[in-house]
Each structure stands twice: as structure tokens, then as C-alpha cells.
Amino acid sequence: MTAALGTRYGANYVPSSNWFYSWLDFSADAVRRDFDDLASIGLDHVRVFPMWPWIQPNRGHIRTKPIRDLLTVIDIAAERGLDVAVDLLQGHMSSFDFLPSWVLTHHHRSIFEDPDVRDGIASYMSTLSRAVADKPNVFAITLGNEVNNLVPFYSATPEATRDWASGLLNVVAEAAPDVLHLYSVYDASWYTPGHPFDPADSTDLGSLTTVHSWVFSGAAAIDGPLGPATVSHADYLIELAAATATDPARPIWLQEVGAPQPHVPATDAGEFTTQTLAHIDSNPALWGVTWWCSHDLDRRLLDFPEHEYDLGLFTLDHQPKPAARALERFIAQQRRPVTDRPAIVCPIDPRTQPERRDEIAPGSMFHDDWVRQRQQGPVAIVPPGERADTAYLAARGIDRVVIPR
């Protein structure tokens, strides 16, 4: 099942019962109920998150039961017409970090630079990738969820993180050659000078580019939950990614986007969803959208940030929330893409000038210019070196170039 105009719409799967701790007490019936919810609103895929330390508790030992449970989840999705993207290295999830003991305490070793650790991770990724590769509804494998969130544990250079990601993507591609192979980062890679994951790596490595749009990173503070900077933030990130790629036709997956409280109050979540989707819908680079997340988080589970508890499309008792209904309505619409649009010239080239990333962060002068012009309709972003390249502009559906302030 595919959405209108080929764009894919899905959800990041957060189990309604016991969050990701549910992998420790796996229930196929609980998964069936959750996936029934997602299929009911017309979604075509789910992104699932097996937990690394529970599958590979020792560098030399990979447990088979959680892999069987993962395969059961994939089969349950197939029964409901849902395709599956599998993330491997968890890694970082909802402000918690899940790392096996063999990279902690007395065994503290960098996951990015220690050769033995990298060999262990490669073994884990190869094993899981081979296990899921034959499932016809598995379409993508991601190295892990926002792997750059692990930088505070293990400092690294841009060269080291690039080599790490490139090497492991090769492992996944060899083990599962017929699916998309990807890696994902949170937006410090796009906005924070000195961050060791560079923007160019997101657009160069893997089968396509992923972006994660979270308005609590600064956009919502500019003009509120339904302000222009907030509802256009996902489109802005997609445009930055498109401007950074050397291939003007490289597709971009909005792999995470959601309505976090209190930045987006519950009363505004439906409208925030509708407006966010309307802004990205006309972007020719958009490949798919995966909403964060499927289900709310039980408040009996303690110590999560407040914004994590109510991000679900569905409540814990499987009732659709306003964001779910807005997403359902949007998927059902028939829409026509915008092929010609103006472009604004970026003041930096994110590919070659990552040390100047703060000049394109939310609240920067450039971002303000783009948001102002975006209110009149779709606006592309182009790097300085491509502003006069007619072939490049035509490939991205750009009909004229505007110089910002």
C-alpha cells in the first residue's frame, strides 16, 4: 500500500505496553493490537527498534530469542499490510542510552574508534541484517536511532564518525543487499558547530538521506506552536539536506517528526500535524514521513522527559488522538506536487563549512529570511556554488533564485 503521489506515511513503533521494555517480556498479541491501530488510519509502514544490549550482552554472544521475536513483529506487520524499517543500534531512545556492559565501566571503549568494539558491532549488525533480509516487507535497515546522541560518551573526530558509519553501512549492505541501508542523526549535525557528525555524511552515505525534525530544538521558541517557523521546520530541514547533497535527485526521508508537549500543546497537536504535513507535501525531495510515535508512554514509567509521554498517535487504550486523525485525513487526500518554485541562497555551504552551522540554525538571520518567504509558498534552498547552475536548478524544480538579506 502506498500513499498519494508515492510518498510513504508510517509511524515509529513505540509499544503501548511497557515501552521498549516490552522486548524483555514479548507479547505477540500486544503487537497485533498496536499494529491494528496503525493500519486503521492508512499507514503503510512502521519503524521498529530492537534493543542492542539485550541481543548482544557480550561481544561474543548474540541471543537468538530476541531475533525470533523481531521476526514475529515483522510477520505481524505483514499480516496488516505494513512494511517494516528496522533500526539496529539502540543506542539512544527517548533520552535514555542503552549500551552493553562490554563498552562501559572497566571495559569503557569507544564505539566509534575502538577496533574490537567496531568488530563486535559489525557482527551484531550483520547477524540482524541477514535475519531480516529475506522478509519481503522489510524495506530498510538503519544503523541506529540518532547515533550521534552517543557522542557525549565517546568523543570522536568527523573523520572517525564518517569512517564508522561508512564501514557499518557496508556491513549492512552486504548482509541485506536488496533493502535500503541508512543511518540517522539528530539535528546537532545540521545546526551545531564542532559537532563530530557532519551534514555531508547524511547526504553522502547510505541509500537516501534521513532527517529528524523536532521543534523543541529552537523552532517552537521563535513563534509558538503554530507559528510559521514551527510548522515549517520539517520542510526547512528537508531543504537543508537537499542543498547539501551532491545528487540533486537524492530522496529524503523525514524519519522522525512529532508534536512534543508543552512546545505543542495537546489542543494544537492536530493543527500542528496538518500544517507540518502541508508544508512538506510539495517538496519534490520528500520520500516518506514516519511520525513519532505510534503510542503514548505509560506515566507509571518514571524519569522520562515530560515531552516523551504524550507523543503517540494513539493513547495507551488504543484511542486515536487528534494527530492520528489529521494524519489519516492527509493521507487520504489527492494532491499535486509543486514543480517550479523559487530558491533562496544559503549563506554557507553545509558540505564544506560545517564550522558555520550556527548561521543556518533556527533563529538565525538566514532561517528568518527563509521562513518569511516560505509563508508565500514553497521555497528551496541552494548552496552558494550552485546558484547559477541551470542544470542543477532545473533538476530540483527551481525556477528562480532569490538572494537573502
pLDDT, position 5: 45
- 354 occurs within a structural domain: no
Beta strands 45-48 and 286-291, pairing class: unpaired
- Going from the C-alpha of 353 to that of each of 15, 193, 348, the distances in angstroms are 40, 9, 6
- 294 occurs within a structural domain: yes
Q: Where are the alpha helices (DSSP H) in 282-364?
A: 322-332
Q: Is the pLDDT of residue 383 over 90?
A: yes
Whole-angstrom distance, CA of residue 131 vs CA of residue 122: 14
Residue carrying C-alpha cell 534521513: 210
133 confidence band (pLDDT: 50, 70, 90): very high
- 349 occurs within a structural domain: no
Number of domains within the chain: 1
Q: Give the SS3 label for residue 16.
A: coil
C-alpha cell at 318: 488504543
C-alpha cell at 139: 524495506
- 310 occurs within a structural domain: yes
Residue carrying C-alpha cell 550556527: 358
pLDDT, position 318: 98
- 327 occurs within a structural domain: yes
- 381 occurs within a structural domain: no
pLDDT, position 334: 61
With pLDDT > 90 as the criterion, what percentage of the chain qualifies? 92
The closest alpha carbon to 182, from 210, 212, 149, 206, belongs to: 206
The closest alpha carbon to 19, from 226, 220, 219, 297, belongs to: 297
pLDDT, position 284: 93
Query: With 0-12 CB in 10 A as exposed, 13-18 as middle and 19+ as buried, what is 122?
Result: middle
Give the structural domain span for 137: 4-337
Q: Where are the alpha helices (DSSP H) in 193-295?
A: 199-204, 219-223, 228-231, 233-244, 269-281
pLDDT, position 60: 97
**Interacting residues of 291 by C-beta distance below 8 A, sequence separation 6+:** 9, 10, 11, 12, 257, 258, 273, 313, 323, 327
pLDDT, position 336: 62
- 387 occurs within a structural domain: no
- 347 occurs within a structural domain: no
- Going from the C-alpha of 247 to that of each of 172, 183, 213, 280, the distances in angstroms are 22, 18, 22, 20
Whether the Cβ atoms of residue 290 and residue 234 lie closer than 8 Å to each other: no
Q: Is the pLDDT of residue 97 over 80?
A: yes
Q: pLDDT tens-digit profile of 279-325?
A: 999 899 999 999 999 999 999 999 999 999 999 999 999 999 999 99
Provide mean pLDDT across the span 390-405: 89
b/e per residue, 13-49, with b = 16+ CB within 10 A? bbbbbbbbebbeebeeeebeebbebbbebbbbbbbbb
Q: Is the pLDDT of residue 80 over 60?
A: yes
Whole-angstrom distance, CA of residue 138 vs CA of residue 306: 32
E strand or H helix at 88: strand 83-89
pLDDT, position 1: 29
Query: Model pTM greater than 0.75?
Result: yes
pLDDT, position 153: 79
CB atoms within 10 A of CB 366: 19
pLDDT, position 105: 87
Whole-angstrom distance, CA of residue 251 vs CA of residue 140: 14
CATH number at residue 155: 3.20.20.80
Q: pLDDT tens-digit profile of 193-241?
A: 999 999 999 999 999 999 999 999 899 999 999 999 999 999 999 999 9
Amino acid at 326: A
Whole-angstrom distance, CA of residue 258 vs CA of residue 132: 27
Query: With 0-12 CB in 10 A as exposed, 13-18 as middle and 19+ as buried, what is 95?
Result: exposed
